[in-house]
């Protein structure tokens, strides 16, 4: 399945086999986060080498809905209650700085960047929306309550903010990537004391950034407990009404709306990877009912890493890996958080220090309710006596009838029917019995 982005942009060509196998910093993962990390470090004079297992931005970054916003669902009220006002303001400051950096870079890149409003709506829970408006006010951010939106849903209310943006992610990322040192089709297999072992041999590096969506090292940092993955779906519809902004349901199973050119991107229906779902069928039904004149241009699915406390993991991979850093767990908001990660890791790796480091520290407390749910899913997957099994930690795989893949309900790895890895953290092909 091609996304709208892959259908409307031409990837650059990289002379990957000409790149030497050493660098100051090896960046593992050539998605938006990895490209931005390498770009910002290279501007500081740091020699970076990006290692991409397949093609640059050929994975999750090609399947985003590409919203540039600090409004990550109903998050302000949650942040205030969970972290307090100071840390909530710190999170907002980091995300607003990320949007500002996009604004600056996009002014020099032809990537369909445009400012728009963003909103989170509730179908029934007006009180939750009102609490979020008050939380924004407490944090000094202009937000407004809207009783209705230009989408075909009757809502209880929405909290909206102006000055957000949207863009074409591949036009943007590929423009940055063309001047970087990149080796495509080079899979990282293991970390070493002085770099990385790859499918093409060892890469020597003083520091390593793991920007592989879900960190591929199996045990370091316990990410198999700290994150789970969720799948969601998108239809691109031509001749559908303009949504007039970027809107998303407060419930993860709800719908998302935004426009790109003449296309409406209708998405949502999130669920844990490895759990059976109806796929695109509910979206098709909604489009047929509410946009009867629309034509489907394309459809795709995406995958998101969800952390225990709705804040990404950006910093040292673990306490025992002082020279290995990670950018992961973007909680469905990968564009703004990729930029935030690049800014934070640039500052940490160049010795400046970051005011946001403690907030995003991957070694922060994991005592959250979601931890026990993740552990239960992993235990159930390990004890289920069926094959095939995931090459990551050995959980039983579930067949995905909608996408014809084998999916891991424990940590989100996905395989083609031939057993080839389609999504990580697994690295090796499985053999069906």
Mean pLDDT confidence for 250-256: 96
Q: What is the pLDDT of residues 177-229, one digit of tens each?
A: 999 999 999 999 999 999 999 999 999 999 999 999 999 998 899 999 999 99
Is residue 149 in some structural domain? Answer: no
15 and 41 in a single domain? The answer is yes
Q: What is the CATH number of the domain that holds 203?
A: 3.50.50.60
In the predicted structure, residue 1 carries a pLDDT above the cut 90? no
Kindly indicate the confidence band of residue 378, based on its pLDDT and cuts at 50, 70 and 90: confident
Is residue 428 in some structural domain? Answer: no
Q: What is the pLDDT of residues 31-45, one digit of tens each?
A: 999 999 999 999 999
Helix (H, G, I), strand (E, B) or coil at 117: strand
Report how far residue 17's alpha carbon sits from residue 183's, in angstroms, rounded to the nearest whole number: 7
In the predicted structure, residue 14 carries a pLDDT above the cut 80? no
Name the packing angle between helices 76-83 and 85-106 (round to 10°).
140
Is residue 186 in some structural domain? Answer: yes
352 and 385 in a single domain? The answer is no
Kindly indicate the confidence band of residue 431, based on its pLDDT and cuts at 50, 70 and 90: low
220 and 316 in a single domain? The answer is yes
315 and 412 in a single domain? The answer is no
Number of residues that this document lists for the chain? 433
Give every CB contact of residue 297 below 8 A, 6+ residues apart in sequence.
4, 7, 236, 237, 238, 263
Kindly indicate the confidence band of residue 15, based on its pLDDT and cuts at 50, 70 and 90: low
331 and 351 in a single domain? The answer is yes
In the predicted structure, residue 18 carries a pLDDT above the cut 70? no
> Which pLDDT score is estimated for 429?
86
* 25 φψ region: left (φ > 0), alpha (ψ -120 to 50), beta (else): beta
Pair 190, 8: CB distance under 8 Å: no
321 and 418 in a single domain? The answer is no
Q: What is the CATH number of the domain that holds 378?
A: 2.102.10.10
In the predicted structure, residue 433 carries a pLDDT above the cut 60? no
| Assigned token pair, 428 | 């090796």
Q: What is the pLDDT of residues 91-122, one digit of tens each?
A: 999 999 999 999 999 999 999 999 999 999 99
Pair 169, 32: CB distance under 8 Å: yes
Is residue 24 in some structural domain? Answer: yes
373 and 356 in a single domain? The answer is no
Report how far residue 15's alpha carbon sits from residue 13's, in angstroms, rounded to the nearest whole number: 7
- The whole domain housing 394 covers 369-423
Pair 199, 240: CB distance under 8 Å: no
pTM: 0.96
Pair 200, 318: CB distance under 8 Å: no
Is residue 34 in some structural domain? Answer: yes
Q: What is the pLDDT of residues 130-175, one digit of tens each?
A: 999 999 999 999 999 999 999 999 999 999 999 999 999 999 999 9
Kindly indicate the confidence band of residue 377, based on its pLDDT and cuts at 50, 70 and 90: confident
Is residue 128 in some structural domain? Answer: no
The phi and psi torsions of 334 (rounded to 5 degrees) equal -70, -25
Q: What is the pLDDT of residues 286-308, one digit of tens each?
A: 999 999 999 999 999 999 999 99
Q: How many structural domains does the chain have?
A: 2
**Residue for token pair 């650059």:** 12
| Assigned token pair, 303 | 């995958």
> Which pLDDT score is estimated for 20?
81
In the predicted structure, residue 53 carries a pLDDT above the cut 90? yes
Task: Write down which residue in 360, 377, 399 finishes a domain.
Answer: 360
373 and 340 in a single domain? The answer is no
Is residue 21 in some structural domain? Answer: yes
**Residue 235: CA count within 13 A, CB half-sphere:** 21
């Amino acid at each position: 399945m091609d996304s709208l982005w892959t259908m409307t942009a031409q990837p650059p060509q990289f002379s990957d086999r000409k790149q030497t196998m050493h660098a100051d910093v090896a960046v593992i993962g050539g998605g938006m986060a990895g490209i931005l990390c390498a770009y910002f470090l290279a501007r500081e004079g740091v020699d970076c080498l990006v290692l991409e297992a397949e093609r640059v931005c050929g994975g999750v970054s090609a399947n985003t809905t590409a919203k540039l916003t600090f409004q990550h669902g109903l998050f302000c009220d949650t942040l205030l209650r969970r972290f307090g006002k100071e840390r909530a303001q710190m999170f907002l400051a980091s995300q607003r700085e990320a949007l500002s950096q996009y604004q600056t870079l996009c002014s020099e890149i032809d990537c369909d960047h445009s400012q728009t409003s963003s909103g989170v709506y509730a179908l029934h829970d007006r009180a939750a929306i009102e609490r979020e408006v008050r939380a924004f006010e407490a944090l000094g951010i202009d937000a407004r309550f809207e009783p209705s939106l230009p989408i075909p849903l009757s809502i209880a209310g929405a909290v909206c903010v102006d000055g957000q943006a949207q863009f074409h992610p591949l036009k943007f990322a590929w423009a940055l990537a063309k001047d970087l040192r990149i080796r495509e089709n080079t899979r990282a297999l293991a970390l070493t004391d002085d770099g990385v072992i790859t499918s093409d041999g060892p890469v020597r590096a003083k520091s390593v950034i793991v920007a592989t969506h879900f960190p591929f090292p199996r045990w370091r940092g316990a990410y198999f407990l700290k994150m789970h993955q969720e799948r969601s779906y998108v239809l691109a519809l031509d001749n559908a009404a303009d949504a007039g902004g970027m809107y998303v349901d407060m419930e993860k199973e709800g719908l998302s709306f935004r426009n790109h050119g003449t296309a409406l991107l209708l998405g949502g229906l999130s669920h844990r990877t490895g759990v059976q779902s109806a796929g695109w069928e509910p979206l098709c039904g909604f489009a047929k009912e509410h946009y009867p004149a629309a034509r489907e241009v394309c459809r795709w699915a995406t995958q998101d890493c969800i952390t225990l406390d709705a804040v990404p993991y950006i910093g040292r991979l673990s306490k025992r890996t002082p020279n290995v850093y990670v950018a992961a767990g973007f909680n469905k908001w990968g564009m703004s958080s990729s930029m935030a990660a690049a800014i934070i890791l640039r500052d940490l790796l160049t010795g400046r220090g970051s005011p946001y480091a403690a907030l995003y520290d991957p070694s922060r407390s994991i005592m959250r309710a979601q931890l026990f749910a993740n552990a239960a899913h992993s235990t159930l997957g390990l004890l289920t006596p069926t094959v095939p099994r995931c090459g990551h930690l050995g959980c039983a795989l579930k067949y995905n009838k909608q996408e014809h893949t084998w999916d891991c309900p424990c940590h989100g790895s996905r395989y083609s029917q031939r057993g080839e890895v389609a999504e990580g953290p697994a690295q090796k092909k499985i053999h069906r019995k």
